Chains A and B, each alone.
Chain A
């Protein structure tokens, strides 16, 4: 997981030596923290993430996961065994990212030590042959080496290099003086910050997985909801989550409005969802009026309340033959398509006589088309409830939990009229006779919405980590680590014709970029040289 020098020249992977456990462990550690293995693990992580995008994930979309299993009966058991419905919490996925994290940490810790040392140390002494470096210039000057080096030192310091004047023991010429300079330490600092920040993000994700929770509940307009586990339709929580941590708030959904675009090419697409709620933060606290929108969740004591999917709840009243009300309430229907054609059932248990079950389709803007009744617009243009009816045993007393959206007709018989299955289409305010049973009426249409209550523990930490990662990336990729050396020595032979013994100094300047060679190296060297020449003549 490194990007700069220390890990660059990994030795090729060798075969494990037949040695004791300590040597073996050391060998394994070297392999794990090598760049090749890190690269391999990166690819493995990318590949391991793929199945989870193909097979629907239970946590993100339980319905789609169940649906996928139904449609692929051959593959489903295998998918189950391999954990393909929960890829991102399987041991094999965890193994990959844990190894990668260890590799990452194992790689950056030694580099932090090295970098801390480099930050305190002087730039390295010049190599023997400066002319072998990627950029090199040589010229002569009438100044003496002492002055040349002093000027070079100042020029380089002004160009924001860290400068040192090491004893030039490696020079081929006796009496040569040298300046060593290095710039761009921030590159490695940023690189280390980036990699550390990734560890912070991973930690934050782990914290979220341990302490977070997410529940969803369907609330019909006018109804309320108290934040306790028994109220949820579904609740997933991390192993370290404690039910007592749920903030004790309660909500009443005063109104839930769904607006759709009525004209233009986008007609029929949702325009706005808005829930007006009364919030009680804790039992006995004062009520607060609040509004929740799709991108504007309600925040209560670290938990967020979001609007998820909406739907309609036709208000259905069922009476018996004597006109007595057996059932009267809004019934949540599940939308089936973009026009919000919705299906639902009404279950009316009766003690002492046959239960009544209604199977119905709700059309927000119903028209009778060539294929029967259908909805042409998701808004409430012309609400119609089309229903069939059953009597018998609903099976509610069997103790087997059953879906409120499905009618188990195994113990029931369908109502008929004139030998045909009974069928009625109700407008708001109209009613229909249920032959021999009573009557049914559509009294109005309410709405419902799925509220999601969640707490993503560690999200602030994750944000901090991500922000630091971006911050660290910038110097990593844009700062250039550059070393420059200047060497000055007296020319070996003074031309014989020279009468005045003016000193002739040979000055060399050379540069080297680490990691990624920059195309301005020659340019900068030329600039530095000009600056030195100007002062030394």
Chain B
């Protein structure tokens, strides 16, 4: 397959992946709408243990062993199409790499497509371990939105790298940054849903929408776990960027807008991790910090490339 046809098929498959994911989104939304409300309440479950004294234990953490949230077969349709779309996008991203003759993450279109691929893959992997079903519709929504933005606004044809990007550090630095961003995206969804659920709990609301969400503590914990995974990756991405900057520009840190905002994102996520272990900041405040941190990440990705002139401008819109 030559570069031109690889580029062509990559574009076609990105469109296809978006359509398949849109189907997944509709299916997850249908599941959300039709499934019976979950009834699990926090309660003490007597557990008969061994031959001896009956003991009581707290119900184990909902993240792993909650009573299964009721779902309809729509959920299966959604998961199937989500997986299918992810595979299709994986092929599209690979073809993009073939077409350009390099790793497919050198401009915003490619960050968005590779990033969505990683979000989807991270979600599907994490969902094998944790019960993330209630996040499915939201994560898929973010995916369809990102891919839509990539196709309509950010699209650029496949091409070679400008000299500044011709470095093995492109692979390491951008891969780490994109992976961390993907993880933070999932954490953001969990934090946002935490705030919804927590607010509803405070008001005593028991609507159908709210009762489909996991317990607030479970959402809080998912957000923390995924952020805790993403934070070292982000730290590494910033560090790899600094090493590359030393090679490319002769200084490891020069307060370029992209560098500055990546540090801001790092600081706010560090604040989140600290807040989470501080009395009085846990819960709502931590969740709000998590959302602020994610918005600095988004701004770094979109805002800095569009609004400021800096050394990272070659990322292109």
Contacts and interface: CB of A to CB of B under 8 A. Distances in A.
Interface string A220-262: 0000000000000000000000000000000000000000010
B209 interface: no
Interface string A167-206: 0000000000000000000000000000000000000010
Interface residues of A, number: 78
Contacts of A138: 49, 52-53, 55
Contacts of B264: 46, 49-50
B251 A214 contact: yes
A42 B246 CA distance: 26
B247 interface: yes
A533 to B, nearest CB: 7
B250 A454 contact: yes
A78 interface: no
A477 B227 CA distance: 10
A447 to B, nearest CB: 14
Interface in B243-270: 243-244, 246-257, 260-261, 263-264, 267-268, 270
A134 B58 contact: yes
B125 interface: no
Contacts of A306: 248-250
Interface stretch (B25-33, B141-149, B186-194, B277-285): B277-285
A276 interface: no
A2 B304 CA distance: 31
Interface in A129-144: 134-141
B277 A467 contact: no
A54 B303 CA distance: 11
A470 interface: yes
Interface stretch (B12-20, B76-84, B109-117, B162-170): B162-170
B157 A473 contact: no
A474 B261 CA distance: 23
A7 to B, nearest CB: 8
B274 A294 contact: no
B166 A519 contact: no
B232 interface: yes
Nearest to B61: A519
Interface of A is mostly: mixed
Interface residues of B, number: 69
Contacts of B55: 136-139
Contacts of B167: 295
Nearest to B224: A516
A57 B271 CA distance: 27
Contacts of A270: 162-163
B277 A516 contact: yes
A477 B51 contact: no
B228 interface: yes
Nearest to A477: B228
A423 B310 CA distance: 37
B251 A137 contact: no
Interface string A303-323: 010100000000000000000
User: Which 3 interchain pairs have the tightest Cβ spacing?
Assistant: A266-B159, A519-B61, A265-B157
Interface of B: 49-53, 55, 57-58, 60-61, 63-65, 156-160, 162-164, 166-167, 169, 221, 224, 228-229, 231-232, 235-236, 239, 242-244, 246-257, 260-261, 263-264, 267-268, 270-271, 273-281, 296, 304, 308-309
Interface of A: 1-4, 7-10, 35-36, 38-39, 42-43, 45-46, 49-50, 52-54, 56-57, 59-61, 64, 87-88, 134-141, 205, 214, 261, 264-266, 269-273, 293-297, 304, 306, 452, 454, 456, 459, 462-463, 466-467, 469-470, 473-474, 477-478, 506, 515-517, 519-520, 522-523, 533
13 contacts: A35-B274, A36-B278, A42-B274, A43-B267, A49-B260, A60-B256, A265-B156, A269-B160, A271-B163, A466-B242, A470-B236, A519-B63, A522-B60
Given A140-B52, A473-B235, A477-B273, 10 more contacts: A10-B279, A60-B255, A136-B55, A214-B251, A294-B248, A295-B166, A297-B250, A304-B246, A456-B252, A517-B61
